[in-house]
Chain A
Amino acid sequence: MPTPTKGPRLGSGPAHERLMLANLASSLFQHGRIKTTEAKAKRLRPYAEKLITLGKRGDLHARRLALRKITDKAIVHELFTEIGPRYENRDGGYTRITKIGPRKGDNAPMAVIELVEAAPAKPAASRSAAPAAQAEPAQEEGTAAPEAGEQAAEEPTSGQTAQAEEAAQAEDESSDEKK
């Protein structure tokens, strides 16, 4: 079996490993989030993200490359029409792995791997604006304005998170009282 670039080998042979990864990726694209073992989730992440990159490219060649791995045409269609365009503003990191502790029965560490939400258009805009500002240092107004905008954007979010935490704590307290 070829050595994986990252993570342990899966299954009992190269064909078994290929099939497992393809099936895991199909399930992930079909359901959006799947629960599996940590080892499989860690192997699935680069595999699935490369397929999503093909979905972002969206041409016929990319579609044929994806169909080499995932044989279900409906899932490849969803990958190219919904999942790929959703991550237009995100450069990689389309999946999130969260560990959820050992499994009852064999104590295998389990994890949830899910497709993350689409990135807002703002980061891409600020990223494109920042190099332009660096390239033109003479325009101080241009550099100052995006920074002020970023600070203004950051402050409300931190305030919101603090409020959300307070609300969450209040809820917990109320739930404790109910108990």
Chain B
Amino acid sequence: MAVPKRKKSRARTRIRRSQWKASRPVLTSCPRCRDPKLPHVACPTCGTYNNRQVVNPA
């Protein structure tokens, strides 16, 4: 079975992992309560979408 000849150095591992990034979600402000929310999704704080009550947030 083919195996790596050399141990990967800490530096190589860290260089590889430097590309693991979390992306910032796109947010818009809710027209009803001005809280940030995902676009095209009902507002999680007030539960409205297009001024229509969709869910009752806890």
Contacts and interface: CB of A to CB of B under 8 A. Distances in A.
A100 interface: yes
Interface string A101-130: 100000000001000000000000000000
A115 to B, nearest CB: 14
Interface stretch (B4-12, B16-24, B39-47): B39-47
A174 to B, nearest CB: 13
Q: How large is the interface on A (under 10, 10 to 19, 20 to 34, 35 or more residues)?
A: 10 to 19
Interface residues of B, number: 13
Given A168-B32, A172-B32, A101 B38 contact: yes
Given A101-B41, A101-B44, A172-B33, A164 B54 contact: no
Given A172-B32, A172-B33, A164 B51 contact: yes
A165 interface: yes
Interface of A: 35, 98-101, 112, 164-165, 168, 172
14 contacts: A35-B55, A98-B42, A98-B49, A98-B54, A99-B40, A100-B42, A100-B44, A100-B54, A100-B55, A101-B42, A101-B44, A164-B51, A168-B32, A172-B32
